[in-house]
Amino acid sequence: MELSASLVASKAREYREREPLYAVEAEQLETLPAAFAAGEYGRRDAVWVVRWYYRRFLGDYPDDERRAAEDRFRNNDFDAVRDAIAEAVGAGDATEAVDALTRLEAVDVPVAAAFCMFLDPDEYVVVGPREWAVLREADELERPYPDPPSASGYERYLERCRALTDRFDCDCWTLYRALWRLAD
């Protein structure tokens, strides 16, 4: 498969038309970045990001594992969650942001990348096996999805995604939507 600007734009539109979570994702992308940056959010907002990461698979992710991760995240002290998010907001790069977030229970690199996307959707793209596989199939990544990915692996993935957004003159959210649909 060869990625192109027209393919990315087409698949991103298709995502908007077909994915059942699109409306709530778009709404959260409008409100959460400012709320996280200002520290004006509640526990449910932070939990929503964790829930979204797993539930976007629409049942393809094992329910017991998803519920366990959500429960473990809820067990984090909320002040610790707020501190990690504040540190991630002020981080100088993706590795620092991921490192801050992965200190929380139930936050691995993919969930941290989801937080990053909702902290700053202009700079970050969530990572997972679907998105990675599309980039690998398009010869944009050399290695198979590392399960689990490391912070440095996410950094390499993110660099590739940012290069693609520059090449295709699109934003990270558009690229994410296209990658998700291309995985089908």
Residue 66's pLDDT is 80
pTM comes to 0.94
Q: Where are the alpha helices (DSSP H) in 75-150?
A: 78-89, 94-101, 109-119, 129-137
- For residue 146, how many C-alpha atoms fall within 13 Å in the half-sphere facing its CB? 15
In tens, the pLDDT along 111-138 reads 999 999 999 999 999 999 999 999 999 9
Distance CA 36, CA 157 (A): 24
| 105 close to 72: Cβ distance less than 8 angstroms | yes
Residues 6+ apart with CB under 8 A from 24: none
Question: For tokens 């984090």, what's the residue?
Answer: 76
Give the residues of the chain that fall short of pLDDT 50.
none
Position of tokens 């993706």? 94
pLDDT at residue number 102: 98
Question: Using one digit for the tens of pLDDT, what is the confidence trace for 72-88?
Answer: 999 999 999 999 999 99
Q: Three-class SS of residue 105?
A: coil
The answer to whether 45 touches 35, Cβ cutoff 8 Å, is yes
